[in-house]
Structure formats: structure tokens, C-alpha cells
């Protein structure tokens, strides 16, 4: 890879590694949060046409039991966003396990406004995995909250009612078990039916308003309404009328939810007497039932008469999943034949005899977006089966998004607007193309790369890959001679048999899937963690080069006394469930392998362990990420303690807030020593965290240590509380807090300002000026929308060259669909060895970005550009931000063309290259080269062709002739 465009170019060797057999897991379930039901009293539809479409959290269930929670990465959760949904949190599944079905519900539906999208803190998440247990997840702590048995055998399907008060389970024994969810509980409510077949799919019918009082005459309504507001409260309720199940005996059954009696049995087609399996089912607002079965048929039924309305031979094999558009005018089905089919409701022109308009369903489109079986479909905004008078309206100028997943491990996002809508210009929120209709728009395949699954030990030249319960380590031989060609011009194919060898393969005894692992720089230590225990191994190299791990048996007992118990409710006795173990979300060794930094599972503490002695020794615990936030005035300051008298002085980063327009000074280390939020004495038995200290369940999943081992950076994210999410002044995204620690003195150093987006990656990079005192103390923060910030830890400030870097990347990377997964500094020597060049490398699943670390970055960016991109610090949004941006531009005497020209001038002088040769990439990192101070690149790829080769052959049917 060439690092300089000049005549004296420097190249860095590249190891292209395709031997790493890290296998991603198939996507088996998708779920979006439901929307609250509208008020029964106010039957008028919303007239707020200017309201922006907001996007909710996407839950992605995998065949290995993990559940990824993805958030829409755009300001205010609104379109458009080139990155779309980005994984922000992973719930590790028990080992072994799988996820077959997912369901979101609203914890307290009465507290959510009608037009609001529930935040993650407002939701409850349920999953089933083929067994008889239903799992409810503790989203904030990334662990199982409770389990409950179905009492009816294996769970084949589950669905929550529109009001989020009941959960229906379709069971193996032919029954439907109804669970009550009211008041954040999970109890058995009733049993419906008992037939000799399996309940393969289930869906709730449209709810109806509760009729608690007899209708009153018109002249008495006003007086009666004014007498009692409590009666109005009773009227503002919905009740469920019926539900329908798809069964394994070639039938659908309609059930009365009140009496539990079967209302209708609807038979489907059979072939040669074999049973037809109804794999998926859905219900529209007018009561129409839609079914997809094992014959590839999609049928529409009249729920009142139980008769078939339409039948389509849309698929060549089983129809496994279905999604319904928000307005109920389009239906999407998919399954084994990898084809996604669109059905639309069209209006038929009335004939001369009949003057009324009529509608019918037709098959209007089909696309093949996957290369293997499609297991699940989901649509945002979600469809709620409501009567037409209560039907929810959405902004007509933004296309809904269809999400799909299957055995090819990739999530596919596609805009799904109807082509018949020509009233307004419809925007594509995914920015994949100008078109937004399902047939014409480009879909986006999200790469299955996940940060942290593959790690590299630079000094020992080791590559480690973690699976659900195992770990494999390879060594790149120093005798290998990778080509120094520029990857922009040539296609390298390194990683041959002579270049690498497998040196360690481990099968571990774990309770959940592995969530973090790390190998030390010199290859002498290995740390692995699941949700409940962190294991530490010493690695010894024998004569043939193989690694022999020796476990430090008492490592958990060393950490456990310093990890407090999980908090419990007031008056609740302490049980074994409050002992959360020693599981870690992130692990990092210092470059000299003398210390190990452990970030525990949520609520996260940062533990520092000394490894220089024969036995690991605990040094200190930090809990700054759990300190309660303060809200002086209208600004939130992360991690400030409130004063005892309840009065909080306006402070920023620990110092008194300056007057309007003044500069903000960072907190000094001496001030931190007074109250640094750490526990100096941890010898006592673990105690429950206090309410004042544990103000949230913050998760510290990102750690970074400087090359000299002096500085530790940590970043946390947490879902906003219900109270804060209701406030318009708080960010809709997860709150981010970044703390810096000094590992030499084992103390807290400073706190960075809060950012509106969670941190995607942390890394220490070199500065363009190598002679600078703080050349290796620059902390790089990347965010899911591909924006970056650089903070000088030594000087406690944002350096000017960091603003130039931020401006360049903001212009070049914001439109890239894949979010940044990592960044580091690479060094290369010229051909004669007389000079060294440095470059900053960013990488994602599908691209590598190279920026030269030279004096061009030290050139300051335009003042207007810096001010226009500091809105994340000023907390401006919407029209107010646009208005202030125009005022700033007018005050500077600049028009839009002049601003665009200055931005181009800034990026034109910086050396920038985009590399798309490798994809999809699991990891890009550097290893030490043969020469002192030189480095080599390691690019770990996992091509889709290799992944699909491990699966059974996909369904294929010749259109013409015979196979």
C-alpha cells in the first residue's frame, strides 16, 4: 500500500488473510417496536403533515442465540441516513441456543404519546428458541431478565397484541397460551384451544374500542361528558376480539380471545394428501387474513365468512415470512426460493351498472435480494391492524423500509414505496438511489462484519478469532514476503500456506456466547470473557511454534470482591441473581503486557489488574461512567455529582460554567483526586450500589490504550430514561460519556464533552507533527455516521489539525453506507530506507480510507466549516439549527458557493485515498515488520462465497428445460 504520491513513495506490505474461518450466524428473526394505540376518544386523524418520520430500534435475532440491537444513526432518528441502522448493542445468548422468534412490547403503554416512537428504555423484548421457555431480556444490562415455561411444549410462534398487554404463544401441543404483560409482569393468563396439530404461526385481529357505557342521545352527551372525567378514561381503552393461528394440519383457525372458543376453521389446499404447513400469517385493519404456506401459496381470506378472496402461486417453495406496509395497502412475502414478492391493493374502476369503487389484491412486483433461504421480514413503520377511522397516518414523502434476513447471514434493507403513489416526491431514507419504490430502488446489503470478533497481536504477529464457545489463533510467519504493491493498482492474494500456521485451538466451557477476547502485544497473555466470567490464560510457545495455554484458576476470585452486586428494588432480598459474575464487555492489555484493563458487564466498572507478578494483582476500580448526570439550566453535563443541598452550580467538565461566549476549560487531574468516583478500598465484601451512584446502567464497550501505555480512554453508552426521552431538549440517541485515565498513576485524568451520538470506535493515533510532545496522545473518536473527533489528552484540548481531519472525513465519508469499524496509524519506509511515511487508516466492512499524516492536516479548516459542524456541541436541531447556520454564514459574508469552495479547498490539500479491493473485512490491523519501526498490514476477509459454501445448497429451479 503506497503511503505517498510523491516520487519517493513508501509502501507497506499487506497480508491478505482468508484462512480465518470465522463463521457469521444466520439471521432468523427481526422485530421492530410497536407504536402506541391511538386514543379512542379523539377519533380525528393527525393533521401534522410536517411531522418527520422517526425510526425505531431494530432487533436482529441470530441462529447462535445472539440478538443485535440496531439504532437509526441520524439526527433525531429522522431520515435520511446513509448508514441506516447500526448495531449498538449485542445481547449474548446462552450457549447453546438459538432465536426463532422475537417480539417487542411497550412496558407502560399509557405513558407513551400517540405519535411518539418508543425508546429502547420503554420497551420489553421477548424471544423463543425452539424450546419450551420464553425469555425476557434485560436490555439495559444485556442479560436475561426472566424465563417462563410455556406449559404447552415447544414454542413455535409468538405475537403480542396491539395494546402490548398480552403475549400469545403458539405451542407444540396445539394450544395457544396467553401471558399477561400488564404492569411490567409476566404471568400465565389463560389457555386457548386444544387441537391435534402445531400452532406454527399466530396473529392478532383488529382491536375494538371498549364499550363500557350504553350510547347516549346527542343532547345529553355534553352534560354527561362534563360530569366525570374518570368515565372518559374508561372509554379510552381497546379490547382484543379474536386471533388467528396457522396450523400444521392444512388449516387456519380463528379463536375468540374472550371465551377461548374456536370461531372458524379454514382449510387450505393439499397435494397428494400431504399436510400443508401454514408458516406465516397476518391480519389487516379490515379483518382480512393473509396466509403463506408450504406450497408457495399466498392467500387472502375474509375473516367474517372464512372464505378465500384471492390466491397467488407466488413462490416455488415454502413461504416462511410476511410483512405488511404501514397503511395496510401492500404485503410482502418471502421464503425458501429467496424471492421477495410484493402484493398491492388496487382500485378497480366502477362499471356502468355499479357506481361504487371496489378494490382487489394483485401481485405487483418481485425481487431476489438474498442468495439463500429468507427466514424473516419486518417493516418500518410497523403495521397496526386498526379500523379505518383510527388508522394512523405517516408522512407521505418518505418511503417505508423493508428489512429481511436469512441463511446468507446478511441483513438487507430496501425502500418499499408503492409505485402508484405519484402525488408527492417520495424520498429514499437509505440514500441507495433516487428511486424509492420497491421495484425500482436499489436495496442495501448490510455486511455481517462485527467489531471485536477477530483480534491481532502486533508484536507476536498473532491473529485470534472467537466463535460462540471457542477460540482459534494463527501466527503469520516472519519469513513471509508479502507484496509491497499498491493495493489501489494491484489485487494482492497473500496468506498462502507458507505464510501462516494455526498455533492454538480452544473449546471453552461457557454459559453464554463469548462477547470479548484479547491477546497481549507480546503474545504471552490471553483473556476471554462471556457474560458471566472472564478467563485469563498464560501462553507459552513450545519448540514447534505451537501455543500452550495455562489458565489462571483464581482470576475470577481476584476480581469478584471488587465488583458490586446488581442493584435490587427497595426491600427486595439479595439472592444469587444479584451476583453477576466477572463477565466483561471489553478487555485491553497495555503495550508492555504489564496490565489488563477489564470493563465489566452493565452496569460497567473499569478494573485495572497488574500482571507483572507471579499472581495477578488487583490495582483499582473506576466507576465514573455510573455517576449521576446533572442538568444545570438547559444543558446536560455527564457525570456530575449533585451537591448535598440539592443545588448544582453551572459547571462544564467539573469547573464553573463561564459567562456566555467564554471558553470551556477541562478539569485538572488535581481536582479529580478530590472526588474521582473510584473506590480506593475494595477489600470489603461486595455491597449493592447506591441509588445515587447507579443512576443508569451504563455499558462501557469501548476501550483504548495509548502506544506508550500511559493513557486509557473509555466510552460508555446507555439508553435515555423515560423521563429524559420525553424531553425535547435531550438527544434521542444514547448518551455518551468518555473518560480518560492515567495508567501510570492509576487515576482519573479528565472527562470529554458529551456527544449526541454513541462512540463507534476509540483509538490513539499519531499527530501530523512527529516532533510534538503529545504526538502519541491524540485520541480519535469515530461515530456511526462516520464523523470523527480528535482530542489531545496531554493538552486537554481539541487540536486544530483534528478539526481539519474532521472536515475532510465529514465531506468524504458521510455518504458511505458502512460505518467505521476501526482506525490506526501505519508507518512505512521508502525503498532506500532513508525516510518514513505515516498514514492514518480507517476501515469498515467494505472499504479502507487512507489519509496522509503530513503538514497538510495542520492547515486549519475554514472557520465557517468548523462552526457549522459543531452543532453536536451546541445541541441545535431542526429549523433552529438551519436558521442559525444561515445567520452565521450571512454574518461572515459568505454565500453557499463560497462555503462549498472553501470546504473543497480544505479537503483538496489533504492526501486521501479510498480502497475497495477487499470485502467483506472482519479486521484490519498492523503487525510489527522485520525492520525496527516498520509495520505490515493484516487484512482479514471472509468472502460471501466462502460463507455460502458451508451451507446446504440453496433452492434452485430451472425456468426452462430440465436440470
Tens digit of each residue's pLDDT (9 = 90 or more) over 234-254: 445 889 999 999 999 999 999
Quick one: residue 605, left, alpha or beta (phi over 0 = left, psi -120 to 50 = alpha)? Answer: beta
Asked if residues 574 and 560 have their Cβ atoms less than 8 Å apart, the reply is no
Q: Supply the pTM of this predicted model.
A: 0.88
User: What's the CA gap between 143 and 90, in Å, rounded?
Assistant: 10
Q: Tell me the C-alpha to C-alpha distance, in Å, between residue 912 and each of 16, 828, 861.
A: 22, 16, 16
Evaluate if residue 820 carries a pLDDT over 80: yes
Can you list the alpha helix ranges (DSSP code H) found in 303-435?
Answer: none
**pLDDT confidence band for 451 (50 / 70 / 90):** confident
For residue 832 the three cell numbers come to: 532506500
Across 540-551, average pLDDT? 93
Can you list the alpha helix ranges (DSSP code H) found in 188-291?
Answer: 218-227, 229-235
Q: What does the pLDDT read at residue 900?
A: 54
Evaluate if residue 43 carries a pLDDT over 90: no
Q: What does the pLDDT read at residue 759?
A: 92
Could you check whether the bond before residue 82 is cis, i.e. omega within 30 degrees of 0?
A: no
Q: What does the pLDDT read at residue 41?
A: 72
**pLDDT confidence band for 272 (50 / 70 / 90):** confident
* Residue 557 DSSP SS3: helix
Evaluate if residue 464 carries a pLDDT over 70: yes
Asked if residues 515 and 585 have their Cβ atoms less than 8 Å apart, the reply is yes
Phi and psi, residue 523, nearest 5°: 75, 20
User: What's the CA gap between 817 and 844, in Å, rounded?
Assistant: 10
Q: Pick 508 or 894 by higher pLDDT.
A: 508
Question: Within 10 A of 672 (CB to CB), how many other CB atoms are there?
Answer: 22
Asked if residues 709 and 594 have their Cβ atoms less than 8 Å apart, the reply is yes
Between strands 935-941 and 14-17, the pairing is parallel
Closest Cα to residue 105, out of 178, 204, 156, 35?
35
Evaluate if residue 491 carries a pLDDT over 50: no
Q: What does the pLDDT read at residue 77?
A: 54
Between strands 123-128 and 133-138, the pairing is antiparallel
What 8-state DSSP symbol labels residue 560? G
Question: Within 10 A of 180 (CB to CB), how many other CB atoms are there?
Answer: 14
Average confidence score pLDDT of the chain: 81
Query: For residue 566, what are the contacts with CB-CB under 8 A and spacing of at least 6?
Result: 141, 577, 578, 579, 580, 603, 688
Evaluate if residue 69 carries a pLDDT over 80: yes
Q: What does the pLDDT read at residue 311?
A: 96
Lowest mean pLDDT: which of 345-359, 661-675, 906-920?
Answer: 661-675
User: What's the CA gap between 224 and 416, in Å, rounded?
Assistant: 46
Asked if residues 935 and 12 have their Cβ atoms less than 8 Å apart, the reply is yes
Q: What is the pLDDT of residues 47-68, one digit of tens each?
A: 455 567 889 999 999 999 999 9
For residue 643 the three cell numbers come to: 451537591
User: What's the CA gap between 322 and 334, in Å, rounded?
Assistant: 7
User: What's the CA gap between 919 and 945, in Å, rounded?
Assistant: 11
How would you class 437 by CB atoms within 10 Å of its CB: exposed for 0-12, middle for 13-18, buried for 19 or more? buried
Q: Pick 43 or 25 by higher pLDDT.
A: 25
Q: What does the pLDDT read at residue 26?
A: 96
Across 406-415, average pLDDT? 95
**pLDDT confidence band for 527 (50 / 70 / 90):** very high
Can you tell me which residue has the cell 394512523? 392
User: What's the CA gap between 321 and 326, in Å, rounded?
Assistant: 17
* Chain centroid offset of residue 379 CA: 17
Can you tell me which residue has the cell 386457548? 192
Lowest mean pLDDT: which of 335-344, 405-414, 932-941?
Answer: 932-941
**pLDDT confidence band for 594 (50 / 70 / 90):** very high
The span from the first CA to the last CA of the chain, in angstroms, equals 46
Q: What does the pLDDT read at residue 239?
A: 92
Q: What does the pLDDT read at residue 793?
A: 94
Q: What does the pLDDT read at residue 831?
A: 66
Q: Pick 457 or 887 by higher pLDDT.
A: 457
Evaluate if residue 309 carries a pLDDT over 80: yes
For residue 331 the three cell numbers come to: 404485503
Phi and psi, residue 239, nearest 5°: -125, 145
What 8-state DSSP symbol labels residue 731? -
User: What torsion, rounded to 10 degrees, do the Cα atoms 478, 480, 481, 485 define?
Assistant: -100
- For 423-545, strand residue ranges (E) read 444-446, 454-457, 462-466, 470-476, 500-507, 516-519, 525-529, 534-541
* Residue 68 DSSP SS3: strand
Evaluate if residue 735 carries a pLDDT over 90: no
Q: What does the pLDDT read at residue 881?
A: 45
Can you tell me which residue has the cell 420525553? 726
User: What's the CA gap between 344 and 20, in Å, rounded?
Assistant: 45
User: What's the CA gap between 631 and 651, in Å, rounded?
Assistant: 10
Q: Pick 666 or 114 by higher pLDDT.
A: 114
Sheet with 251-256, strands from edge to edge, namely 199-204, 242-247, 251-256, 262-267
User: What's the CA gap between 90 and 839, in Å, rounded?
Assistant: 32
* Number of helical H runs and strand E runs in the chain: 11, 59
Asked if residues 824 and 841 have their Cβ atoms less than 8 Å apart, the reply is yes
Q: What does the pLDDT read at residue 847?
A: 94
Between strands 912-915 and 251-256, the pairing is unpaired
Lowest mean pLDDT: which of 428-437, 561-570, 582-591, 808-817?
Answer: 561-570
Query: For residue 414, what are the contacts with CB-CB under 8 A and spacing of at least 6?
Result: 340, 367, 369, 401, 402, 404, 430, 438, 441, 443, 444
Q: What does the pLDDT read at residue 198?
A: 95
Handedness of CA 355, 358, 362, 365 (dihedral sign): positive
**pLDDT confidence band for 231 (50 / 70 / 90):** very low
Q: Which of 193-207, 661-675, 833-847 ranks highest by mean pLDDT?
A: 193-207
Evaluate if residue 6 carries a pLDDT over 60: no
Can you tell me which residue has the cell 500511559? 710
Can you tell me which residue has the cell 422468534? 101
> H or E segment at 548?
strand 547-551
**pLDDT confidence band for 452 (50 / 70 / 90):** confident
Q: Tell me the C-alpha to C-alpha distance, in Å, between residue 403 and each of 105, 315, 366, 383, 431.
A: 19, 19, 15, 14, 15
Instruction: Give percent of the chain with pLDDT exceeding 70.
Output: 74
Q: What does the pLDDT read at residue 632?
A: 42
For residue 687 the three cell numbers come to: 455491597
Question: Within 10 A of 26 (CB to CB), how many other CB atoms are there?
Answer: 22
Q: Pick 644 or 266 by higher pLDDT.
A: 266
Evaluate if residue 677 carries a pLDDT over 90: no
What 8-state DSSP symbol labels residue 449? -
Evaluate if residue 587 carries a pLDDT over 50: yes
Quick one: residue 431, left, alpha or beta (phi over 0 = left, psi -120 to 50 = alpha)? Answer: left
Lowest mean pLDDT: which of 8-22, 366-380, 650-664, 744-758?
Answer: 650-664
Query: For residue 272, what are the contacts with CB-CB under 8 A and spacing of at least 6?
Result: none
Amino acid at each position: 500500500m503506497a503511503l505517498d504520491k510523491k516520487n519517493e513513495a513508501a509502501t507497506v506490505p499487506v497480508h491478505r488473510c482468508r484462512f480465518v474461518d470465522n463463521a457469521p450466524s444466520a439471521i432468523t428473526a427481526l422485530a421492530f417496536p410497536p407504536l402506541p394505540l391511538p386514543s379512542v376518544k379523539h377519533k380525528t386523524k393527525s393533521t401534522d403533515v410536517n411531522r418527520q418520520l422517526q425510526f425505531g430500534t431494530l432487533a436482529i435475532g441470530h441462529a447462535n442465540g445472539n440478538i443485535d440491537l440496531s439504532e437509526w444513526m441520524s439526527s433525531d432518528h429522522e431520515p435520511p441516513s446513509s448508514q441506516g441502522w447500526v448495531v449498538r448493542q449485542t445481547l449474548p445468548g446462552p450457549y447453546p441456543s438459538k432465536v426463532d422468534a422475537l417480539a417487542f412490547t411497550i412496558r407502560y403503554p399509557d405513558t407513551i404519546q400517540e405519535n411518539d416512537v418508543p425508546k429502547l428504555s420503554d420497551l420489553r423484548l421477548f424471544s423463543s428458541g425452539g424450546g419450551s421457555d420464553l425469555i425476557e431480556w434485560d436490555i439495559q444490562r444485556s442479560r436475561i431478565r426472566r424465563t417462563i415455561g410455556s406449559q404447552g411444549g415447544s414454542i413455535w410462534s409468538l405475537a403480542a397484541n396491539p395494546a402490548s398487554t398480552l403475549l400469545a404463544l403458539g405451542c407444540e401441543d396445539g394450544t395457544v397460551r396467553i401471558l399477561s404483560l400488564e404492569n411490567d409482569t409476566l404471568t400465565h393468563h389463560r389457555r386457548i384451544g386444544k387441537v391435534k396439530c402445531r400452532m406454527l404461526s399466530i396473529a392478532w385481529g383488529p382491536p375494538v374500542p371498549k364499550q363500557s357505557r350504553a350510547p347516549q342521545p346527542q343532547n345529553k352527551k355534553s352534560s354527561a361528558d362534563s360530569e366525570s372525567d374518570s368515565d372518559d378514561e374508561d372509554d379510552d381503552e381497546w379490547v382484543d376480539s379474536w386471533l388467528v393461528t396457522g396450523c400444521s394440519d392444512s388449516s387456519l383457525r380463528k379463536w375468540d380471545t374472550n371465551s377461548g372458543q374456536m370461531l372458524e376453521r379454514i382449510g387450505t389446499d393439499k397435494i397428494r394428501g400431504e399436510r400443508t404447513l401454514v408458516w406465516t400469517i397476518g391480519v389487516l385493519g379490515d379483518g382480512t387474513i393473509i396466509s403463506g404456506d408450504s406450497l408457495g401459496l399466498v392467500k387472502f381470506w375474509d375473516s367474517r365468512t372464512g372464505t378465500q378472496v384471492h390466491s397467488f402461486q407466488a413462490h416455488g417453495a415454502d413461504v416462511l415470512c410476511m410483512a405488511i406496509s404501514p397503511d395496510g395497502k401492500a404485503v410482502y412475502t418471502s421464503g425458501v426460493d429467496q424471492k421477495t414478492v410484493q402484493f398491492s391493493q388496487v382500485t378497480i374502476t366502477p362499471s356502468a351498472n355499479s357506481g361504487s369503487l371496489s378494490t382487489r389484491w394483485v401481485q405487483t412486483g418481485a425481487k431476489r435480494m438474498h442468495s439463500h433461504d429468507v427466514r424473516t421480514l419486518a417493516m418500518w413503520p410497523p403495521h397496526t391492524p386498526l379500523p379505518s377511522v383510527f388508522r394512523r397516518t405517516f408522512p407521505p414523502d418518505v418511503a417505508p423500509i423493508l428489512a429481511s434476513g436469512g441463511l446468507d447471514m446478511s441483513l438487507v434493507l430496501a425502500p418499499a414505496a408503492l409505485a402508484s403513489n405519484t402525488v408527492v416526491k417520495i424520498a429514499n431514507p437509505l440514500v441507495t438511489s433516487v428511486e424509492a419504490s420497491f421495484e425500482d430502488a436499489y436495496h442495501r446489503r448490510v455486511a455481517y462484519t462485527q467489531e471485536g470478533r477477530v483480534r491481532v497481536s502486533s508484536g507476536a504477529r498473532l491473529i485470534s478469532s472467537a466463535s460462540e464457545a471457542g477460540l482459534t489463533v494463527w501466527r503469520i510467519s516472519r519469513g513471509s514476503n508479502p507484496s509491497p504493491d499498491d493495493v489501489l493498482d494491484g489485487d494482492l492474494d497473500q496468506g498462502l500456506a507458507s505464510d501462516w500456521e494455526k498455533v492454538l485451538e480452544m473449546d471453552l466451557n461457557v454459559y453464554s456466547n463469548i462477547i470479548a477476547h484479547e491477546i497481549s502485544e507480546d503474545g504471552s497473555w490471553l483473556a476471554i470473557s462471556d457474560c458471566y466470567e472472564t478467563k485469563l490464560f498464560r501462553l507459552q510457545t513450545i519448540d514447534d511454534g505451537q501455543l500452550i495455554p495455562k489458565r489462571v484458576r483464581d482470576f475470577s476470585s481476584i476480581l469478584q470482591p471488587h465488583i458490586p452486586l446488581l442493584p435490587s428494588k427497595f426491600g427486595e432480598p439479595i439472592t444469587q441473581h444479584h451476583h453477576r459474575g466477572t463477565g466483561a464487555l471489553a478487555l485491553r492489555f497495555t503495550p508492555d503486557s504489564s496490565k489488563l484493563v477489564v470493563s465489566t458487564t452493565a452496569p460497567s466498572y473499569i478494573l485495572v489488574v497488574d500482571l507483572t507478578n507471579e499472581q495477578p494483582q488487583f490495582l483499582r476500580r473506576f466507576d465514573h461512567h455510573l455517576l449521576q448526570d446533572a442538568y444545570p439550566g438547559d444543558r446536560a453535563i455527564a457525570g456530575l455529582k449533585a451537591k448535598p443541598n440539592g443545588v448544582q452550580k453551572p459547571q462544564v467538565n467539573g469547573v464553573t460554567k463561564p459567562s456566555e461566549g467564554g471558553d470551556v476549560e477541562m478539569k485538572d487531574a488535581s481536582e479529580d483526586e478530590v472526588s474521582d468516583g473510584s473506590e480506593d478500598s475494595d477489600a470489603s465484601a461486595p455491597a449493592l450500589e447506591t441509588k445515587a451512584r447507579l443512576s443508569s446502567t451504563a455499558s462501557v464497550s469501548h476501550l483504548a490504550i495509548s502506544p506508550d501505555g500511559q493513557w486509557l480512554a473509555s466510552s460508555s453508552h446507555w439508553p435515555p430514561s423515560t423521563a429524559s426521552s420525553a424531553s425535547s431538549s435531550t438527544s434521542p440517541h444514547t448518551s455518551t460519556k468518555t473518560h480518560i485515565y492515567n495508567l501510570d498513576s492509576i487515576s482519573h485524568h479528565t472527562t470529554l464533552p458529551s456527544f449526541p451520538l454513541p462512540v463507534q470506535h476509540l483509538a490513539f493515533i499519531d499527530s501530523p507533527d512527529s516532533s510534538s510532545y503529545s504526538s502519541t496522545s491524540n485520541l480519535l473518536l469515530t461515530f456511526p455516521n462516520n464523523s470523527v473527533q480528535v482530542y489531545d489528552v496531554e493538552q486537554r484540548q481539541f487540536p486544530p489539525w483534528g478539526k481539519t481531519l474532521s472536515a475532510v472525513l465529514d465531506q468524504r465519508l458521510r455518504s458511505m453506507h458502512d460505518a467505521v469499524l476501526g482506525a490506526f496509524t501505519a508507518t512505512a519506509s521508502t525503498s532506500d530506507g532513508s525516510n518514513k511515511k505515516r498514514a492514518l487508516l480507517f476501515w469498515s466492512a467494505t472499504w479502507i480510507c487512507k489519509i496522509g499524516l503530513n503538514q497538510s492536516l495542520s492547515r486549519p479548516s475554514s472557520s465557517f466549516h468548523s462552526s457549522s459542524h459543531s452543532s453536536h456541541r451546541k445541541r441545535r436541531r431542526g429549523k433552529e439549527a438551519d436558521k442559525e447556520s444561515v445567520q452565521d454564514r450571512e454574518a461572515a459574508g459568505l454565500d453557499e458557493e463560497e462555503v462549498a469552495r472553501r470546504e473543497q479547498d480544505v479537503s483538496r490539500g489533504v492526501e486521501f485515498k479510498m480502497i475497495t479491493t477487499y470485502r467483506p473485512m472482519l479486521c484490519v490491523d498492523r503487525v510489527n515488520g522485520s525492520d525496527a519501526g516498520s509495520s505490515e498490514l493484516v487484512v482479514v476477509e471472509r468472502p460471501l462465497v466462502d460463507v455460502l459454501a458451508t451451507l446446504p445448497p440453496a433452492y434452485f429451479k430451472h425456468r426452462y428445460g430440465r436440470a
